[in-house]
Amino acid sequence: MKNKDIIIVTLFSQVLSCNIILMALFLGLDLSTQQLKGVVIRDDFTFVYETLVVFDLELPQYKTTKGRVLHKNGVVTSPVLMWVDAISLLFCKLKNGLGDRIADIASIGGAAQQHGSVYWKDFENIKLDNNLALSKQFETHNVFTVTNSPTWEDSSTTEYCNELSSLHTPQKIAIISGSVPYERFTGNQISKVQKEFPEIYNNTERISLVSSFLPSILLGLYAPIEVSDASGMNLLDVQTRKWSQVLCDQELLSKLGPDPVFFGTAIGTIHDYFVSNYGFNKKCMICSMTGDNPGNLSFIDDLAQENSLNTHSPNTKLTIVVSLGTSDTIIFPIKAYPYSFENLLPSVDSYTGSILSHPNAPNEWAVLICYKNGSLAREFICNNLQENINNNPKLVSDKWGTFEKAYNYTQISPDQFGFYYILPEIIPKAKGIHRFTRISSREGHDRDSVVQTPSSSLYKHELISSIKIIDADARLIIKSQVMSMKLDCLRKNLDVRSDIEKLVITGGASKNDLILQTIADVFGLPTYTIDHDGDLGDESKDVSSLSMPAMAGAMSALKSFQKNFPPNASNSFNPTKSTYFLKLAKPPIHSNSLEYMNQMADFTYLRDYLASHT
């Protein structure tokens, strides 16, 4: 045992007499699209342990691809029992990794993929048998009325979005709920279950988001939904933070449970099943969990406060989080709610993107812009490039190395643009893979395949079905994805140069230097990742790869514990400052920034063209 541990043991031995926990640790979970991650930190924020369960690899019986199942007609689901098994497996790993110290976990927080829904009945009435697997018991008792949970990639609810729009108008729905109706938003997914499977709907007692399903399992009780994640449902009044009486009927209100709570609210203690099976302390507190993107926002906010930066002052320039997980998502805080019935915006398109209630600050909100074709679209290009080289991609281990080589073969040319909407995209609403190549005249080209931009440039438009993935696509996809991010920030009235100070990049693809550099160049702003001061030993990791949402969960658990057991003479709980900080990853290269700026007008025209032509 290190000296520091001995001191903490001494400090907490007094706490133990009050039946609290010795040598507090804090667990943060992240139930994302492809995996469940867990990060353990100490009360001084230092990293202790991390583990993860990759759904496809470790739970192959559920037959998922990248954690989900793609069905016909845009339906995308994940088996809810797979998530339950993932929790059991993660806790086994945690027990092996931490040994008896699992009992020192004082509090658990977390985050999860947004919008996905879980449908339950009779969950709170089950008497769990500590000797049987959780998933078996839930299966036997038919706890889940829908066994394949619709997730954020689902695009099968257009009909229900249109119905909602015609009932209220998209503007009214955006003013109340922060977003025009989106296919993945949970309210529209619930409408689909209600209309297409009325018996199942009637039989459903409670509906959770993935982020409230996770703490529900840990509590053995239905956990409340969290405010920021509730904003991704088209059901919440995001200004009052209460379920909207306009958008929810009485029956739905009863299934949603109480009004949402802030992120990190203490909501109970862990169920005895986890105490008996894994050695958790029975006093271990469970905190409300949020969506992965609001989790990122909360983590960056915590970090700024730890470093005495006041992100809540009106003059502070923005730090924007760009998450490159399965989705590519941008999130940033705003101090005033931008929509009102008195000042309608010029068009429905002006309401594109989402306004969420802030996870922690009562009078703030956040803008969220999400792209479905993020990492998996890049992987699609990457795998195709490898197949070009070697008909068996599995034989080549360094697939991102191949991608990087292909990227570097080509220049930032104004002569080509690519759009890679392998699954139907959220922003813009477009699908298919498209390449636009500049031509000097229409001659020799099919009339319908030539697009003329306002600057009189001519582009030949090709669909990927008729062309092959080539090296150029590596650069084109990154250019296109990042230019889209900038375009949508501009369309959300951000003056990129004067409003934004930093871009913090996180998620699996933040390991990729080319992407970090392209983001810096397109925005003309420096990109940052998160680093840690001091030696974390052999297990040293940057927070981006530890999972920022899981870190946010651990931080929220720590803060909640502190709030409920404030430092005083009897417990001496006194956490030190966080040692995480923003590390400059890539400054922008001026000549590249100019090049991208010059291409923005044509890019915008071509993206809008696709939105109205696919």
Ligand X SMILES: Nc1ncnc2c1ncn2[C@@H]1O[C@H](COP(=O)(O)OP(=O)(O)O)[C@@H](O)[C@H]1O
Ligand Y SMILES: O=C(CO)[C@@H](O)[C@H](O)COP(=O)(O)O
Q: Which residues bind ligand Y (CB under 6 A)?
A: 32-33, 113-115, 152, 184, 232, 291-293, 323, 325-327, 329, 368, 370
* CB 184, min distance to ligand Y, A: 6
For residue 416, the partner it binds in ligand X, ligand Y, none, with Cβ less than 5 to 8 A by kind, is none
For residue 484, the partner it binds in ligand X, ligand Y, none, with Cβ less than 5 to 8 A by kind, is none
Q: Sort strands 580-586 and 527-532 into parallel, antiparallel or unpaired.
A: antiparallel
* CB 354, min distance to ligand Y, A: 7
For residue 400, the partner it binds in ligand Y, ligand X, none, with Cβ less than 5 to 8 A by kind, is ligand X
Contacts of 404 by beta carbon, 8 Å cutoff, 6+ apart: 474, 512, 514
Rounded Cα distance, 35 and 38, in Å: 10
List residues bridging with 261 in a β-sheet.
Answer: 226
Rounded Cα distance, 552 and 37, in Å: 12
* CB 563, min distance to ligand X, A: 28
Residue 156 contacts residue 148 (beta carbons within 8 Å): no
For residue 293, the partner it binds in ligand X, ligand Y, none, with Cβ less than 5 to 8 A by kind, is ligand Y
Our CB check for ligand X shows the closer of 192 and 378 to be: 378
* CB 371, min distance to ligand Y, A: 9
* CB 606, min distance to ligand X, A: 25
Phi, psi at 438, each rounded to 5°: -65, 135
Our CB check for ligand X shows the closer of 110 and 507 to be: 507
Our CB check for ligand Y shows the closer of 194 and 323 to be: 323
Tokens of 398: 């360094």
For residue 509, the partner it binds in ligand X, ligand Y, none, with Cβ less than 5 to 8 A by kind, is ligand X
For residue 518, the partner it binds in ligand Y, ligand X, none, with Cβ less than 5 to 8 A by kind, is none
Our CB check for ligand X shows the closer of 209 and 270 to be: 209
* CB 446, min distance to ligand Y, A: 37
Residue 210 contacts residue 77 (beta carbons within 8 Å): no
DSSP string, 400-427: HHHHHHHHHHS---TTEEEEEESSPPSS
Our CB check for ligand Y shows the closer of 368 and 433 to be: 368
Closest residue (Cβ) to ligand X? 508
Rounded Cα distance, 572 and 10, in Å: 10
Rounded Cα distance, 269 and 19, in Å: 13
* CB 169, min distance to ligand Y, A: 22
* CB 1, min distance to ligand Y, A: 37
For residue 360, the partner it binds in ligand X, ligand Y, none, with Cβ less than 5 to 8 A by kind, is none
Q: Sort strands 25-31 and 105-112 into parallel, antiparallel or unpaired.
A: parallel
Q: How far is CA 356 from CA 88, 229, 230, 297, 303, in A?
A: 31, 8, 8, 11, 20
Our CB check for ligand Y shows the closer of 220 and 374 to be: 374
What type of residue is 463?
Answer: L
3-state secondary structure 13-68: HHHHHCCCCCCCEEEEEEECCCEEEEEEEECCCCEEEEEEEEHHHHCHHHCCECCE
Rounded Cα distance, 597 and 602, in Å: 10
The binding site for ligand X (CB under 6 A) comprises 32-35, 325-326, 375-376, 378-379, 400, 507-509, 511-512
Our CB check for ligand X shows the closer of 25 and 382 to be: 382
Closest residue (Cβ) to ligand Y? 325
* CB 260, min distance to ligand Y, A: 16
Our CB check for ligand Y shows the closer of 107 and 510 to be: 510
For residue 352, the partner it binds in ligand X, ligand Y, none, with Cβ less than 5 to 8 A by kind, is none
Quick count: other Cβ atoms within 10 Å of Cβ 298?
Answer: 31
For residue 35, the partner it binds in ligand Y, ligand X, none, with Cβ less than 5 to 8 A by kind, is ligand X
Residue 51 contacts residue 94 (beta carbons within 8 Å): yes
Our CB check for ligand X shows the closer of 402 and 512 to be: 512
Our CB check for ligand X shows the closer of 429 and 511 to be: 511
For residue 512, the partner it binds in ligand X, ligand Y, none, with Cβ less than 5 to 8 A by kind, is ligand X
- Output the CA angle 397-400-405, nearest 5 degrees: 110
Rounded Cα distance, 341 and 7, in Å: 58
Our CB check for ligand X shows the closer of 34 and 457 to be: 34
For residue 335, the partner it binds in ligand X, ligand Y, none, with Cβ less than 5 to 8 A by kind, is none
Our CB check for ligand X shows the closer of 291 and 524 to be: 291
* CB 126, min distance to ligand X, A: 29
- Output the CA angle 241-247-253, nearest 5 degrees: 75
Region for 86 from its dihedrals, namely left if φ exceeds 0, alpha if ψ lies in -120 to 50, beta otherwise: alpha
Residue 351 contacts residue 361 (beta carbons within 8 Å): no
* CB 328, min distance to ligand Y, A: 8
For residue 486, the partner it binds in ligand Y, ligand X, none, with Cβ less than 5 to 8 A by kind, is none
* CB 475, min distance to ligand X, A: 14
Q: Does residue 489 sit in helix, strand or coil?
A: helix
